[in-house]
Amino acid sequence: MTSTSTRSPLTAARAATAALIALAAISPAVQAAPVSGQGNWETTLQARDINRDGVVDAYFDTGLNITWLADWNANGPMSWFDATAWAGALDVHGVTGWRLPSTSAAADGRVRPDPSSSEMAHMYYVTWGNVGYPDAGYGLSNTANFINVLNSTVYWSGTDVASDPNLAWYFYSFLGFQDLGGYAKSAPLYAAAVRDGDVQSVPEPHTPALLGLALLALCLTRRHAVTPHAAPSSTTL
């Protein structure tokens, strides 16, 4: 008699992840392109050029009220410890307070996770409108206007596992699933950075000087307007 074993979708996804990660190590990583009409990114992501140099530094996510760093590979693969330290020390043209994306304490390791269970799941399924494994058409087809969002790449979450100090949540960018059992915190994975709330652009360098001159001119104008003029002298004949 021949016995057959059935793997769960999560077990299959973990196996697929390992195979694709191995392939990615010898193949160039691929950046997906923005897909108009897929997901809600065109209405919920607002570009932020923090230092006004014509380059988008971040995107404010109105759906989650957080700001995402535009570059999803700003520092290369890192351990979870190095990734959390990197995000915490990140200074983007004077804007600080960055962190790794979070995962809900109620989340579980599974394929097609609830988009509300983590900030990366919300980005993948809602904002970008991608399809997760094992549904037909799964894969990272849309990344909006972010740069260096890599296929076949695993991204650290900032949320670790209370029951095991050696583990933390992660999100796989190609299959669209999140898990906590496949990598120890020492593994070199990738990291995206987020920040709570919106960010403001820094003032242009000449703006304070122009404002000061304008205020000075206004003060001088008002002073001139209230200064009484001397009455003309009269001569008695």
What residues does each domain of the chain span?
9-196
For 3-25, write each residue's pLDDT tens digit. 444 556 656 666 655 555 554 44
Q: What's the pLDDT score for residue 23? A: 45
For 40-92, write each residue's pLDDT tens digit. 999 999 999 999 999 999 999 999 999 999 999 999 999 999 999 999 999 99
Residues with Cβ within 8 Å of 194's Cβ and at least 6 positions away in sequence, in order, are 66, 67, 68, 69, 98, 99, 100, 101, 119
Distances (CA, A) of 160 to 21, 49, 105, 135, 181: 22, 32, 9, 28, 11
CA dist 89 and 229 (Å) reads: 61
Average pLDDT, the chain: 83
For 84-106, write each residue's pLDDT tens digit. 999 999 999 999 999 999 999 87
CA dist 129 and 151 (Å) reads: 15
Find out whether 174 and 152 touch, Cβ atoms under 8 Å.
yes
Find out whether 87 and 99 touch, Cβ atoms under 8 Å.
yes
User: pLDDT at residue 227 above 70?
Assistant: no
CA dist 190 and 197 (Å) reads: 23
| pLDDT above 70: percentage of residues in the chain | 72
Residues with Cβ within 8 Å of 235's Cβ and at least 6 positions away in sequence, in order, are none
Q: What's the pLDDT score for residue 25? A: 45
Residues with Cβ within 8 Å of 52's Cβ and at least 6 positions away in sequence, in order, are 201, 202, 204
Compute the average pLDDT of residues 111-117. Answer: 91
Of 30-39, 69-78, 93-102, 123-132, the poorest mean pLDDT is in: 30-39
Q: What's the pLDDT score for residue 107? A: 81
Reported confidence tier of residue 162, pLDDT bands at 50, 70, 90: confident
User: pLDDT at residue 214 above 60?
Assistant: no
CA dist 221 and 71 (Å) reads: 49
Residue 235 tokens read as: 């001569």
Identify the DSSP state of 135: S
| pLDDT above 90: percentage of residues in the chain | 62
